[in-house]
Amino acid sequence: MILRENLSTLIAMPYLPKTLLAVVTVVAAGGFWAVTEARDSGMAAFAKSLANGIDSRLAGKKASGATMEVFSSKNHPAKKYVRNPQLWCADFVPQLTGCSVWKPPLDYVGERYGGVMITSRHILFCRHAHPAWDGGWMKVQPQVIRFVTADNKVVDMKLVANVDSPKVDLCVGLLDDDVPEGIHVAPLMPAMSPEQGRELMGMNVPDLSISQAGKRPNGKSNEAMAYVGTAAGSPSVATRKPWSYEVYQGDSGTPRFYITPKGLALYQLTGAGDVSGNLAHLKELIAACDANAVERGVLKKPTGKQPKVLDLPVPPK
């Protein structure tokens, strides 16, 4: 049952198809409006809208290094980077600038272990593999986290504190200052119920995922790529398969986004699982990280910052 005042919100949902509106039965009953058949059809249309964000950008393109590699060229020591203008999702590059591209030294971390900004001061990693997983920010000073703007300007920040979650495979790090304009803070996907999440996963909805550069056991080196994945693994649709990627060591903690009608929404980290469903715990980790920094004298007072959730309606259960 949906309250009368919520009916206009339901009908205004961008993913509710016109065909569904034609079969919605609205009846006045004791101050409520009953809407039939909204759940299944609504979630299917919602999934289709997310998939369209991927498929519309792949159309007419061929999967290759020229269309999947994040950078056309890069030189870490010289701090020179050129973003790839032919990237299949190039229109979203400004929203990918909050993804870390490098952490020194090369033989310790380099391009591994991901990292994505979730507030203007806090970066999210997976717990089992991040720059400070064995006290790295204490052993390697300064522990730089590097970002690159959409117009190829380098932004180096310092990691000054971190807290590992005792519950899930996530870690929150604190930077020494707010990231500047030009470095995007990723909003989270709205949380879903377990039933909604399973339903969406069962539809094999594609996502935009970021890999890290690294070397495989066969000696082959891979550049950082923007590829198509799903929450359940590789895509099953034939037109998406060439754009997939075999996750390997070093990709842990790399971000996975859904392309929504309102932009990119972070929902998962590779190797770490759910992000959007752990909002309350993320807030706890941020508070604990700030407290740790205050206690150690690298932060004067708690930042008070929290992740933002994308304002995107999700079909009702």
Does residue 17 sit in the same domain as residue 154?
A: no
What's 92's DSSP letter?
Answer: G
Does residue 140 sit in the same domain as residue 281?
A: yes
Does residue 49 sit in the same domain as residue 123?
A: no
Task: Give the model's pLDDT for residue 5.
Answer: 44
Cα–Cα distance between 254 and 77 in angstroms, integer? 22
Residue % of the chain over a pLDDT of 70: 81
CB burial of residue 135 (10 Å; 0-12, 13-18, 19+): exposed
Tokens 């929902």 map to which residue? 267
Residue % of the chain over a pLDDT of 90: 56
Contact 23, 35 (CB under 8 A): no
Domain-ending residue, one of 32, 58, 84: 58
Model confidence band, residue 235 (pLDDT cutoffs 50, 70, 90): confident
Domain-ending residue, one of 13, 41, 58: 58
* Angstrom distances, CA of residue 224 to CA of 126, 150, 279: 18, 16, 28
Per-residue pLDDT reduced to its tens digit, 263-292: 999 999 998 879 999 999 999 999 999 999
Q: Mean pLDDT score of the chain, rounded to an integer?
A: 83
- The yes-or-no verdict on residue 18 having pLDDT over 60 is no
Model confidence band, residue 64 (pLDDT cutoffs 50, 70, 90): very high
Cα–Cα distance between 132 and 100 in angstroms, integer? 14
Does residue 93 sit in the same domain as residue 196?
A: yes
CB burial of residue 31 (10 Å; 0-12, 13-18, 19+): exposed
CA angle 82/242/96 to nearest 5° reads 35
**Sheet of strand 28-29, all strands in order from the earlier edge strand to the far edge:** 2-3, 32-33, 28-29
Per-residue pLDDT reduced to its tens digit, 109-164: 678 788 999 999 999 999 887 776 655 444 555 688 999 999 999 999 999 888 99
* CATH number reported for the structural domain that contains residue 194 in this entry: 2.40.10.10
- The yes-or-no verdict on residue 248 having pLDDT over 60 is yes
Task: Give the model's pLDDT for residue 111.
Answer: 81
Classify 195 as helix, strand or coil.
Answer: helix
The domain of 292 spans 60-317
Kindly state the average pLDDT of the residues 38-54: 83
Task: Give the model's pLDDT for residue 31.
Answer: 42
189 closest CA partner among 128, 249, 116? 116
- The yes-or-no verdict on residue 82 having pLDDT over 60 is yes
Task: Give the model's pLDDT for residue 7.
Answer: 43
Task: Give the model's pLDDT for residue 199.
Answer: 85
**Hey, what are 167's tokens?**
């519950």
* Angstrom distances, CA of residue 14 to CA of 95, 298, 313: 22, 45, 9
Between residues 15 and 70, which one has the greater pLDDT?
Answer: 70
**Hey, what are 182's tokens?**
């030009």
Contact 58, 243 (CB under 8 A): yes
**Hey, what are 222's tokens?**
């891979």
Count of domains in the chain?
Answer: 2
Domain-ending residue, one of 31, 58, 85: 58
pTM, 2 dp: 0.84
